[in-house]
């Protein structure tokens, strides 16, 4: 039985994690902690699932590592600089594992894998992501990660820059530029998390999309990470390797 603590337990994702852990036969909810609660309640856990805000997640990660707790982190905002800092924190205890994932949706992860394969075969690729209006960051971590793997796949295939004759864009309508891949963010009521990757080539268009209609869609990936992180050491980024 793996004992699980949830940090950020009263947030929407945190509540869903608590319910999923409670429903799992091989997991035990050891502590549910949120802002202003005593973090020491988490010390009875084997794994802490962290869904807190980007401005406090690093101190929460360090707190858990200092107390010998494995971690599964779903907080947004982990760019390469922050991931490198996380590696340094986790390396302080070589017996610990940590999974930091831009997305725990299994369908979303497969979508990113398919996008990486498709990126080598099309002249153009752009990412459009849509989330609920309460999301504090844009573009999403998933969209940034998707853009980076598309760019890496294109570079590996020896592809040049994408065709784009835009010379002026004072309002930023072409979106963010992530390693040469344009990313567009929508924040709208009615969405949980959706992403579409659009590819284009001579005479054809190809799109890959994924929609999370409920936060329950992320729970199989979160629970998979909880079960696997206790067997791992160091930092694992994403759940791709866990699925394999």
Structure tokens at 86: 């996380």
- Cα separation, 217 vs 148, whole angstroms: 24
d(C-alpha 100, C-alpha 72), whole Å: 6
Helix (H) or strand (E) holding 6: strand 2-7
> Could you say which of 131, 145, 184, 210 is catalytic?
131
Select which of 3, 70, 121, 135 is catalytic. 135
| Cβ contacts of 148 within 8 Å, gap of 6 or more | 178, 179, 181
- Per the CB < 8 A criterion, the answer to whether 89 and 62 are in contact is yes
135 is catalytic: yes
What are the CB-based long-range contacts (under 8 Å, 24+) for 169-177? 175/126, 175/139, 176/139
Place of tokens 């284009």: 200
Task: Quote the CA–CA distance of 41 and 154 in Å, as a whole number.
Answer: 47
Tell the burial category of 170 from Cβ atoms under 10 Å away from its Cβ (0-12, 13-18, 19+). exposed
Catalytic machinery residues: 131, 135
């Amino acid at each position: 039985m793996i004992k699980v603590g949830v940090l950020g337990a009263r947030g929407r994702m945190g509540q869903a994690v608590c319910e999923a852990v409670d429903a799992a036969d091989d997991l035990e909810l050891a502590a549910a902690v949120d802002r202003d609660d005593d973090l020491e309640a988490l010390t009875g856990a084997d794994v802490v699932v962290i869904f807190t805000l980007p401005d406090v997640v690093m101190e929460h990660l360090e707190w858990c590592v200092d107390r010998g707790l494995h971690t599964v982190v779903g907080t947004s905002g982990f760019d390469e600089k922050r991931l490198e800092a996380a590696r340094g924190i986790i390396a302080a205890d070589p017996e610990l594992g940590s999974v930091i994932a831009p997305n725990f949706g299994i369908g979303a992860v497969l979508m990113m894998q398919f996008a990486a394969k498709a990126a080598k075969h099309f002249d153009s690729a752009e990412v459009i992501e849509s989330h609920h209006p309460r999301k504090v960051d844009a573009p999403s971590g998933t969209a940034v990660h998707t853009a980076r793997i598309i760019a890496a796949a294109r570079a590996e295939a020896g592809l040049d820059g994408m065709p784009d004759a835009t010379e002026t864009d004072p309002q930023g309508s072409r979106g963010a530029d992530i390693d040469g891949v344009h990313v567009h963010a929508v924040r709208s009521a009615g969405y949980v998390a959706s992403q579409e990757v659009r590819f284009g080539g001579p005479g054809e268009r190809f799109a890959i999309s994924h929609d999370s209609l409920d936060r329950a869609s992320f729970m199989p990936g979160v629970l998979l990470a909880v079960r696997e992180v206790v067997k791992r050491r160091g930092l694992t980024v994403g759940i791709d390797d866990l699925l394999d």
